[in-house]
Amino acid sequence: MGSSAAQTTAHTLLNLPADIITNILLHADTPKQLLHAIQSHRVFYNVWKNDPFMLRKVVENRIGHDLLPYAAALLESKSLRPGIEHDAVRSLLARLDANVRSRGGCNFRDYRQSDYADMLRTHSTVEILREEVAAEALVAFVREFRLGHPQRASKQENFRIRRALYRFQLMCDLFYVPVKSGTPLYKREITRLFFYRYSPWVNEQMLCVYSYLERKVSEAFDHVAAHNVEWAEMPLSWSGNWCAEDICQIQWNLSRGLDFLVALFRAKTYDERNSMLPMYPPDGVDSDERNPFNVLSYQLTVPFEKFIKLYPEKYLSLDILDPDIDVDLATLSEEDLRVVDDETGPMEPSIADFEQRGFLEKLSQPADGSQDSPLSTPFRLWCRAHAEKDLMDMDVRSIRHNGHVNLLACGYVFWDCDLPQPHDQTSAWDTAMTDRMKALAGAAYMFPRLETTWERENILRSEKQRSSICLAGGSGYWPKPEPGKDYDFSRVRGLSEEEKQRLVERFRMEEAKGIGHVWGGLDTSYGSRA
């Protein structure tokens, strides 16, 4: 029966028109799927063999016209040495901007088959992350904003997420430069050539993607850092209110590429994650071999530090704008840039003040696309989120630390909603959104890090016990301490039974003296560790 079904299928394929066979091949998601189809039947192979541009057509169909400039730029970025070839980086960004503005796609003239295959593989990775970001953020957005929205993201919303993922990886490829490999473009050039080509609400779409990726890396890092015996003796911070943006290990892993991030997010067990997260990056990443995470030299290269350029000091300062960038506020007088309060006198204008005068529309860029114009939901929600802020003094670090992180977790600038048209309804809608955002900003973070789920004493207890095990020559996994229960050495390697017994006696003595006890003049109380 199986043979009969196969013969029927083969006969059906032989009778299909060539354009339908071509269309089947065009919908392959990955090079592997395309190869499988070609090898499955000679009708697919013949179409493939007779059309030298088939793989190019698959790429165009799969990635889509609007995303092709980003896919092409990302492919080119992998062959550059951004720490040395600064002119090549500038040229790449100029071509990307021109292709996006002209909606002209990209030039495939010099592409090889392997280039098309790489683009398909990268896009497949983007699709995996796009689906995960959309599924999680949309649920949070609907719940917190209480706005009607379909259960699934629209084509337009998915485009925003895909574009943000491509831009994030492009940012890492072009501006993350290990110290021994040179230096990235000067920070003002990064602002002008990469961030200012887009409006701030489109740039915050990339910040939403970054926040998701950072949180997922943090989950894996915290899991390993809380249980790895060897890590207890190193200045690796998973507790003590350290922010992920300040932990170099998390930042370095964020820069390792979207393929790595997908693999890391799929790893769920301690052993899987531990095998993927080295204590330090490979030799040669940093200039100080004794301390591979020398903060003074390293912090300038990590992904989060690049986002600082999103809102640089004096955001609208004309001396850092190119003449061809459509954010020309030179016609505004000093009076335009000031607000006079009846009681306090002249004061810096807020974003709400700029919005009321129609100035914020000048921040819209051609590269944004019509879906992110000043008529879009992302623009309106961005204005509401920052209404009381001073545009001249905004910066990424402060907005992430002032409750804005929950808005980013909702992906609030990804989504479209039905906007009210009459002015009176618009005012009511704006007020309601502002109130909800303030409530969200004042709420606890939706996705707290692991250390918030541990008792303070258990964090210290774990660090002290793992440190003692490491100093005794042990390695491996140490479970979360549970006072009153037996100590579990089942996943600890390198210790004899006698050494384990001595450690048990020490742990019991520490419990008797109090977990904050200082041994041998070394203060290991909570909060004293880096």
Q: Poorest-confidence range of 29-33, 100-104, 160-164, 297-301?
A: 297-301
Judged against a pLDDT cut of 90, whether residue 147 lies above it is answered with no
Q: Poorest-confidence range of 93-107, 134-148, 479-493?
A: 93-107
Position with higher pLDDT, 378 vs 29: 378
The position carrying tokens 């911070």 is: 237
In order of 10, 33, 52, 271, the CA distances from 43 in angstroms are 9, 16, 15, 46
Residue 262 within any structural domain of the chain: yes
Query: Both 394 and 529 in a single domain?
Result: no
The domain of 476 spans: 459-530
Query: Both 391 and 495 in a single domain?
Result: no
Judged against a pLDDT cut of 90, whether residue 23 lies above it is answered with no
Confidence band of 222 (pLDDT split at 50, 70, 90): very high
Integer Cα distance of 468 and 507 in angstroms:
9
Q: Poorest-confidence range of 53-62, 202-211, 369-378, 410-419?
A: 53-62
Judged against a pLDDT cut of 70, whether residue 72 lies above it is answered with yes
What phi and psi, each to the nearest 5 degrees, are found at residue 429?
-65, -45
Residue 71 within any structural domain of the chain: yes
Position with higher pLDDT, 313 vs 126: 126
- Cβ–Cβ < 8 Å for 382, 204: yes
Query: Both 516 and 437 in a single domain?
Result: no
Query: Both 486 and 431 in a single domain?
Result: no
What phi and psi, each to the nearest 5 degrees, are found at residue 341?
-95, 140
Confidence band of 124 (pLDDT split at 50, 70, 90): very high
Judged against a pLDDT cut of 70, whether residue 486 lies above it is answered with yes
Integer Cα distance of 178 and 1 in angstroms:
60
Position with higher pLDDT, 64 vs 165: 165
> Residue 346 carries which side chain, given as an amino acid letter?
P
In order of 230, 433, 509, 523, 524, the CA distances from 520 in angstroms are 21, 57, 14, 8, 10
Integer Cα distance of 93 and 88 in angstroms:
9
Cα dihedral across residues 214, 217, 219, 222: positive or negative? negative
Give me the chain's average pLDDT, please.
79
Nearest to 379 by CA among 353, 361, 397: 361
Task: State residue 237's pLDDT score.
Answer: 64
> Residue 500 carries which side chain, given as an amino acid letter?
K
Judged against a pLDDT cut of 80, whether residue 467 lies above it is answered with yes
Task: State residue 333's pLDDT score.
Answer: 46
Query: Both 463 and 425 in a single domain?
Result: no
Query: Both 475 and 447 in a single domain?
Result: no
**Domain count within the chain:** 2
Residue where a domain stops, chosen among 451, 474, 491: 451
Query: Both 379 and 527 in a single domain?
Result: no
Residue where a domain stops, chosen among 451, 483, 504: 451
Residue 16 within any structural domain of the chain: no
Task: State residue 296's pLDDT score.
Answer: 38
Confidence band of 330 (pLDDT split at 50, 70, 90): very low
The bridge status of strand 345-347 relative to strand 475-476 is: unpaired
Query: Both 485 and 506 in a single domain?
Result: yes
Residue 29 within any structural domain of the chain: no
In the structure encoding, which two tokens stand for residue 243, read together? 């922010």
Confidence band of 342 (pLDDT split at 50, 70, 90): very low
- Cβ–Cβ < 8 Å for 67, 166: yes
Integer Cα distance of 218 and 249 in angstroms:
9
- The most confident of 113-127, 291-305, 413-427, 443-457, by mean pLDDT: 113-127
Residues 53-65: tens digit of each pLDDT: 677 877 888 898 8
Coil, strand, or helix at residue 143?
Answer: helix
* CB burial readout 191-214, b (16+ within 10 A) else e: bbbbbbbbbbbbbbbbbbbbbbbb
- Cβ–Cβ < 8 Å for 71, 119: yes
Judged against a pLDDT cut of 80, whether residue 339 lies above it is answered with no
Query: Both 493 and 400 in a single domain?
Result: no
Integer Cα distance of 480 and 30 in angstroms:
42
> Residue 413 carries which side chain, given as an amino acid letter?
V
Residue 42 within any structural domain of the chain: no
Residue 376 within any structural domain of the chain: yes
Judged against a pLDDT cut of 50, whether residue 187 lies above it is answered with yes
End-to-end CA gap in the chain: 68
Burial of 522 (0-12, 13-18, 19+ CB in 10 A): exposed
Query: Both 358 and 290 in a single domain?
Result: yes
Residue where a domain stops, chosen among 429, 451, 473: 451
DSSP count for the chain of H helices, then E strands: 23, 4
Integer Cα distance of 217 and 21 in angstroms:
42
Cα dihedral across residues 508, 234, 454, 132: positive or negative? negative
- The most confident of 175-179, 486-490, 517-521, by mean pLDDT: 486-490
> Residue 478 carries which side chain, given as an amino acid letter?
W
Residue 443 within any structural domain of the chain: yes
Position with higher pLDDT, 502 vs 233: 502
pTM of the full predicted structure?
Answer: 0.83
Coil, strand, or helix at residue 341?
Answer: strand
Task: State residue 318's pLDDT score.
Answer: 39
Query: Both 311 and 422 in a single domain?
Result: yes
Q: Report the pLDDT averaged over residues 189-212.
A: 92
- Cβ–Cβ < 8 Å for 365, 202: yes
Judged against a pLDDT cut of 50, whether residue 340 lies above it is answered with no
The position carrying tokens 């549970």 is: 482
> Residue 523 carries which side chain, given as an amino acid letter?
D
Residue 333 within any structural domain of the chain: no
Judged against a pLDDT cut of 50, whether residue 473 lies above it is answered with yes
Query: Both 276 and 131 in a single domain?
Result: yes
Integer Cα distance of 330 and 465 in angstroms:
62
